[in-house]
Structure formats: C-alpha cells, structure tokens
Chains A and B, each alone.
Chain A
Amino acid sequence: MKGEEIMNTLRLNPLPTPTWNWLHCNDTNVTVPAGLSEVEVQEVFPAEAETAKVAAADIPAVETSAGPAFDKYLAETGLSAEEVKIADKVLASQAVNKKIAFNANAEAGRAVYRVGKGASLTIAHFFTARDFDLAGEEGANPKARKFVSYDTRIIADEEAEVVLVDVIDMPGDVTFVDNIGGSAAKSANVKVIQVLLNGGNVLTGTALGLDGDKATVQIDTGYVVKNQENLDINYVIRHRGKYTDTKIAANGVLRDQATKIFRDTIDFIRGCKASTGDEREDVLLMNPGIVNKSVPLILCAEEDVEGTHGASIGKISDEELFYFESRGISEEDVQELMAKSRIDAVVGRIPDEAVRTELMQKLHPEEF
C-alpha cells in the first residue's frame, strides 16, 4: 500500500487505430500509484434518485476515454462505485450536483449513472483539489506528480436524456485522469459539456457506444490551457445502431507554453445505416511557445452514412484583430476576451438553469 509505492506506467487515452509513432499521438504515458483511496464527495441528489454502492466487479463494462489499460487498473484497485439510478419515466427534478475536492494523493472516485427508459437526469461534477503534499508519504518519489482520478459511467436506457456537465478547475501540479464512458440505448440522448478552466496535467474525454437505433450524442467543450499546463482529450464514439448521430464541438485557447492534444474518433461500424457524425475543433493559438496536436479520425465500414470533420487552428487573423480594435478593444485585451468568451459560450449551452447559473457565478462573480 502506501509504504512502498510501486509506480506503474500505463498508456492512456489511446487512439482506436494507431498512426506513425514519431508523432507521439497514439496515446499518453501516465505513471499511476499502486493503489487508490476513495475521495470524499460533497453531493446533492434529486429526490427521485435511488443510490447504492456497487462493488468493483459489478461496475458496468463499457468503453471509457482513458482506454482498456486504465480500465483494468481501476478494476484491480478494487475501488467501488456510487451508483445513482433514475427509474423509468422519471424526470429528475434537479441535477445530481457533486463537488469533488481531492484532498490527498492517490485519491479517486467511481460513479455509475443508470437512467431508465424515458427518464431524464442532469449530472454536474465540479473537480477541484486542495493543496496537498506528497512529501509526507513514505517511499513516495518526490518528483512524481500528484495523481488523482474519477471514473464516470453513464448507462442511458431507451429514450433517456442524460446531460453530464464536467467542470475541471485543478491545481498546476496534479495529474487528473477524468475517465468517462457509457452506452446509449435506442433513442437515448447523451449530452456532455466539458468546461476545462485550470489543470496541470488533465486527461479527459468521453467514450460512448451509440448502441441502440436513433441514439444520439452531443459533446460541447470549452477550454483555456495556459502556463505549463497540459490537456489531453480523447473522444471515441462507436456508431452501432441505425440513425445514430454525433456532434462534437471543441473550442479552446492555447497560451504561454501550454500543450494540448485533441483526439476524436467517430467510428461507423458496419450496420449503422443512415447514421451521421460531425466533429469540429477550433483552436486559438496565442503565444509562440504552444504545442497543439489534433487527431480527428473517422473510421467507416458502413456505406449509408455521412461523416464530416473539420479543424481550424491558428491565431487571431489581422481582419479579426482590426474588427476588435475598431470597437475599442486593444490587442492585449483581445486575448483575454477570446479566452473568456469560449468558456462562456459553452457554459451558456448548459440546459439546466441551476447548474448554469452556479457556474456563471463562479466564473463571473462581479456580475452577481
């Protein structure tokens, strides 16, 4: 346990199909601690939620963003999950609201959300961490970055509506693996909104199986990566049912010497007739020291589909700059403004008013 930390290096956030190794974008190496302890969560549940503790072995096996190696690792730690169930046809009266503030190294949590047929639920996860030390732990490698993690699995039954709002505001010396996966049954809709405000080394994403016909997913992400921060995103959507649809939009800003890799894969599996998928990335580069990697994949084994993806990477054009300046906004202020705006835009798209307001208040206290 903690006496002798045998650190282990895993390949996380893998691409479903690897490409040239010299690009170093097939996956990311992360050193993980031998064991994990459960993090304390401040949580509020809607009255309709049925909660239970689920043993590691009973946690649903779904594909997740961090990949199979991490999945196996989580299982081996024996950590149990907190399950929230919403019964069929129940529309939850308020969101599940969890404040997950990591307190020590090697803390982690697991959550399973089962939303019944025709039911609906919004889940809000706010991730932060207190300033904890590594030094106090025996045998710990002082150079190893602090490691914490959270595992979220969403099982959306037929016609269920699930919204996951994922807000990450983590300190600059912590590696945080935000592992998200799930499955959507017939006509279910899953919406994932990720707001990435701060984080030293953040690995996140979403893997979702559109397993039933007419299942759909929308992923909307806004991020600002600055200083020496590193952001690693992996989206993998498997289209199995017919008439399934994916929309992924990621908008962000890279500043200072930040690094970021964005992998998104739309996989049209044979049989998913009449399915559609669109993935879009827009990255604003602000300073010369940045490193931006983008790997938008479309895998297709089905003829009757339409898939599109687009990426736009660059700095503010002279035209845009002149437009801002002609409205009195100086060049230095434009950077700040664009960064804030991208986050605000994503927050504005959170359907649940209470969650949206809470986040707006956190971001712009001067307005309230």
Chain B
Amino acid sequence: MSDLLSVEGLKVNVSDKEILHGLDLKVDPGETHVIMGPNGAGKSTMGYALMGNPNYKVTEGKILFGDKDITEENPSERAKDGIFLSFQNPIEVPGISLSNFIRNAVDAKSEKRVRLWDFRKSLEKEMKVLNMDPSYADRDLNVGFSGGEKKKAEILQMLMLKPRLAILDETDSGLDVDAVRTVSDGVQEFQQNTDGALIIITHSTRILESLHVDYTHILVDGKIVATGDASLVDEINDHGFEKYLNK
C-alpha cells in the first residue's frame, strides 16, 4: 500500500551542521499530522527539506511521494507533484501581483490555462473565506502586507493550488486572535473540501483548536521522539515538552 508521503531515515545538513538526525514519517492521503517540538528542534528544517530547498542538504535517507523517490527532485517539480509549503516568513516580491503569482502557479500544474475570468472568480471566493480585502489581489506579492495578511496569502495559495500534501510551517505565529481563527477556517475548508493531507508544524496550538488531527509527533533534537493522536496536543499544552527532552 503506498503512503502519500514516506520519509525514511532522513538526515539533513544546514551550513555543514546536521539538524535532522534520521527522521521517519508516514502520511496517508487525507490525514492531518501535527509536528510539535521546542525551538531549534528542526521543525522548519523538515519543512524546507521536504520542499527541496537547495540550502538544506540531504546526507542520508529518502523521501518518497506516492510511488516516486523525490529526494533529488527540485522544488518546482515537487510542487507540480502536489506538495505545498506555507512559509513561516513569506518574503516580499515587488514587481508581481498576488493574483498574477497564483495564476501562474495554478497554470504550472495544469495543462490548460484557466481563463482569466474563471480564475478571478475562484480567487475572490477563496479570499472571502479568508476575510481578505479583494484589493490585495492586485497588490505586489506580500509587499507591505502585515504578518497576518502574509499568512492568509499563503493559505489562499494553498486553497487555490489544492495540493495533495500541504505543509504549514508555524502558520499561526505572530497572528492575533482573529487572524488565527480566520486561518484556521481556511485550513478547515481545505480539510473538508479536498482530500489533501496536512502536516502542521507548530510549537503553540492555537490553530489546532478547531481542526481535526489524526496524528501528533514530537520532534526534539532532529528526531521524532513520540507519536500519538490528537490527545498528545492537550498533553503538551498542559505539561510542555519536558518529558521528551531527555530522550
């Protein structure tokens, strides 16, 4: 039975320092996995490595997506295969509008180019779900966006691209209460209306409050040290990570 994502013994170096010391993870289609851990555990590193950032070098292990070994594949290929990464700190790219960027990303995945009118309608609908002012569509990508708007723009992209696997890197960090709720609504929409799987990387749990969670993993010092179900989230909330730090 092929899993959607299978990570086997993954070791990853950043600037000649090993951050992930042999990571194992299996995700089935449609599942929602939560990765939690203290700062510096390697959570974002895992996200970047799965997406194929060239600065994150795999020294050992494999990443299998569906039937394919994508360990050596470049990021745009992985995106076309159906992997999506929502960045923790999305960069500003002047010179291209949010709408145009998404349109091109959508086109990259399909053979036929969506008609402008259809695309705009679809974009408007998803922006409404996320409570985003429609004027953001024509603004330069992330330029001058508040932290909250940047995160919403990431989730907007996820909703428009409909990936098979979406990795959300600290999506709720730096957001106020309302923004967290809105982003959470967006993720729920994704869970309910697509059969995409989710890997939610977080070290706080606000975003998870109204989401369905299948598995929770604790990542400490570059390795997964515990796996449980949704109740593990509550345990962390009550007792923190201390129990897992000396493993």
Give A residues with C-beta under 8 Å from B: 251, 282, 284, 318-320, 322-331, 333, 337-338, 341-342, 344-345, 348, 366-367
Contacts and interface: CB of A to CB of B under 8 A. Distances in A.
A344 B94 CA distance: 12
Given A251-B95, A338-B96, A342-B95, A328 B113 contact: no
A328 B93 contact: no
29 contacts: A282-B94, A284-B95, A318-B54, A318-B55, A319-B91, A320-B91, A322-B51, A325-B52, A326-B75, A326-B76, A326-B85, A327-B102, A327-B105, A327-B157, A328-B76, A329-B76, A329-B79, A329-B105, A330-B74, A330-B76, A330-B108, A333-B108, A337-B104, A338-B95, A341-B95, A341-B97, A345-B95, A348-B97, A366-B113
Contact of A328 (B53, B105, B115): B105
A326 B84 CA distance: 7
A127 B68 CA distance: 52
Given A338-B96, A345-B96, A348-B138, A329 B91 contact: no
Nearest to A280: B94
B87 A341 contact: no
B53 A322 contact: yes
B136 interface: no
Interface of B: 51-55, 74-76, 78-80, 84-85, 87, 90-91, 93-97, 100-102, 104-105, 108-109, 113, 115-116, 138, 140, 157, 161
Interface centre among B87, B104, B115 (most CB of A within 10 A): B104
A345 B87 CA distance: 24
Contacts of A324: 76
A323 B91 contact: yes
A319 B95 CA distance: 15
Given A322-B53, A328-B105, A341-B96, A367 B116 contact: yes
A50 B101 CA distance: 44
A236 to B, nearest CB: 25
A323 B161 contact: no
Contacts of A251: 94-95
B95 A329 contact: no
A320 B93 contact: yes
Nearest to A366: B113
Nearest to A360: B116
A344 B103 CA distance: 13
Given A328-B108, A341-B95, A348-B97, 14 more contacts: A282-B94, A282-B95, A320-B93, A322-B54, A322-B75, A323-B90, A325-B52, A325-B74, A326-B79, A326-B87, A327-B105, A329-B108, A333-B104, A337-B100
A329 to B, nearest CB: 5
Nearest to A316: B93
Contacts of A344: 97, 100
Contacts of A323: 87, 90-91, 93
B140 A325 contact: no
Contacts of B95: 251, 282, 284, 338, 341-342, 345
Contacts of A319: 91
Contacts of A330: 74, 76, 108
A367 B54 CA distance: 35
A89 B102 CA distance: 43
B41 to A, nearest CB: 22
A50 B79 CA distance: 58
A318 B78 CA distance: 17
A331 B102 CA distance: 16
Contacts of B84: 326
Contact of B161 (A320, A325, A327, A367): A327
B113 A329 contact: no
Of all A-B residue pairs in the complex, the 8 with the closest CB atoms, nearest first, are A328-B108, A328-B79, A325-B75, A341-B96, A327-B105, A325-B76, A330-B76, A367-B116
Contacts of B94: 251, 282
A328 B85 contact: no
Given A320-B93, A322-B75, A338-B95, A327 B100 contact: no
B96 A337 contact: yes
B142 to A, nearest CB: 9
B208 to A, nearest CB: 24
A74 to B, nearest CB: 35
Contacts of B90: 323
Nearest to B53: A322
A318 B56 CA distance: 13
Contacts of A337: 96, 100, 104
Contacts of B52: 325-326
Contact of B109 (A322, A328, A331, A367): A328
Contacts of A366: 113
Contacts of B91: 319-320, 323
Contacts of B96: 337-338, 341-342, 345
Contacts of A345: 95-97, 140
A265 B140 CA distance: 26
A342 B97 CA distance: 9
Interface centre among A284, A326, A333, A348 (most CB of B within 10 A): A326
A329 B51 contact: no
Contacts of A284: 95
Contacts of B101: 327
A156 B110 CA distance: 50
B171 to A, nearest CB: 15
A338 B87 CA distance: 21
A341 B104 CA distance: 11
Contacts of A329: 76, 79, 104-105, 108
A341 B161 contact: no
